[in-house]
Amino acid sequence: PIGRAILKYTNLPIAAPSANISSRPSPTTFSHVFNDMDGRVEGIVNGDQSEEGLESTVLDCTQYPYRIARPGAITEEMIDSVLPGSVDHDAQLNTEKPIAPGMKYKHYSPQTPVAMLTSLTQAISEDKDWSHTLFAVPATLQAYLPKDAIYRELAKDVTDLKSANHM
């Protein structure tokens, strides 16, 4: 709403770059933008929080039907509803040699170290401070986690987790 109000008030078209440093996902809060852009720009508008980052959908129009070079907020179905048959539904994204910005592995990689645990028993037997460790596991495993660990329910149980993988 604030962005539209600025456009209406100025009655001018405004072009602006992304409100984040290249290679990072689009911000959804003022603090995300401030952390990335403080000291790099003259001002930052503090508006409402976005429900999702506004990752641009990029279409490769060098062929027809077009292919999605980078998925974003505008889905293949939304494009197809306006331009029926214009999107190649079978095209595969090339993440090795992407043609669109924001498709390299680093773009969405976390800034915090991440480790995949293959054995919960082995992990919790290690004598370490778990207070800064997040375990995203099925609810049935919460009782087995270190008491000082941070817990987020990933699913009700392992069956629920497996079915979520197929959605």
User: Cα separation of 158 and 164, whole Å?
Assistant: 10
Of residues 158 and 132, the one with the higher pLDDT is: 132
pLDDT range class, residue 95, cuts 50, 70, 90: low
Specify whether the CB–CB gap between 59 and 93 falls below 8 A: no
Average of per-residue pLDDT values in the chain: 78
Percentage of the chain exceeding pLDDT 70: 77
Residue 105 has pLDDT above 50, yes or no: yes
Report the length, in residues, of the chain. 167
**Alpha-carbon span 160 to 154, nearest angstrom:** 9
CA distances from 142 to 50, 119, 153, 163 (A): 32, 14, 8, 19
CA proximity to 79, closest of 13, 91, 3: 91
44 contacts 65 by C-beta, under 8 angstroms: no
Number of neighbours of residue 29 by Cβ within 10 angstroms:
14
pLDDT confidence of 64, banded at 50, 70, 90?
Answer: very high
Q: Which of 42-51, 69-78, 135-144 has the highest mean pLDDT?
A: 69-78
Q: How far apart are CA 139 and CA 133, in angstroms?
A: 17
Q: Is the pLDDT of residue 167 over 50?
A: no
Q: Where are the domains of the chain?
A: 1-52, 58-107, 120-164
Contacts of 132 (CB under 8 A, 6+ apart): 150
Burial 62-92 (b: 16+ CB within 10 A, else e): eeeebbbbbbbebebeebeeeeeeebeeeee
Which residues are registered as beta bridge partners of 151? 135
